[in-house]
Amino acid sequence: MNNNEYLKILSKLNILYIEDEEKIKENVKATLKLFCENIFDASTIQEAKELINQNRIDIIISDINLPDTTGIEFIKEFRKIDKTIPIIILSAYTDKDYLLEATKLKLADYLTKPIDFKSLQNALLKCVDEILEYSRYIISFGKNIEFNVLHKKLFCKEKDCELSLTNKELALLEYLIKNSNRVLSINELKNYIWEDEIEATESAFKNLLNKLRAKIGKESILNISGIGYRLAY
């Protein structure tokens, strides 16, 4: 796979960038947007945790010095939950103690500020390589059904064929994936999928939900009684 293909994959990923210095954050964020469509930014670890809980994050980029804790401590804690998501640390230091701590955290890269364009690009391409290695862009459901997040395709391994998705089925599935860490109310789902409130009826939603469940498995979309729905995979 060549660099252009890696860059195409990168453009579809979600990056979380944690930096408390506003000017630096805006400059780096502007550079990141040259590579990727979706950039989430946070100034504190608490903000970062909220974004992680509410969105699908594919790559984390964090400054080492933050107001509520260090980037190293945050990653140590995060690695207890997720051992494979690619993480890049940014630091003004080249201190050996920092480097030693960083090597224990399975980082994709450790970049020293100020960051140049080429170094950032190379680090991001390493992240894509790790994502491909761990197949993080493939979501597996029951009954040998897989969804390729990057290519937006549903595939049945048992029958070795692609399963077609309507635009609304794809929108519902992607929204459930993006918000897989929380329960989504029916109203939120309807408002996201239908622009016209008149079309967003209970029966239209239930019909759409049942059609998607028939393709990925009923047990893959949990009904939390009285609250809403959440994806399970």
User: What pLDDT, in 10s, does the model give residues 87-99?
Assistant: 999 987 766 666 6
Name the one residue in this structure whose structure tokens are 């990727």.
36
| pLDDT confidence band for 69 (50 / 70 / 90) | confident
134: pLDDT strictly greater than 80: no
Cα distances (angstroms) measured from residue 22 to each of 19, 90, 92, 110: 7, 15, 16, 21
Q: What is the pTM of this model?
A: 0.66
Residues 123 and 87 sit within 8 Å (Cβ to Cβ): no
114: pLDDT strictly greater than 70: yes
What digits encode the pLDDT tens for the residues 157-178? Answer: 888 899 999 999 999 998 998 7
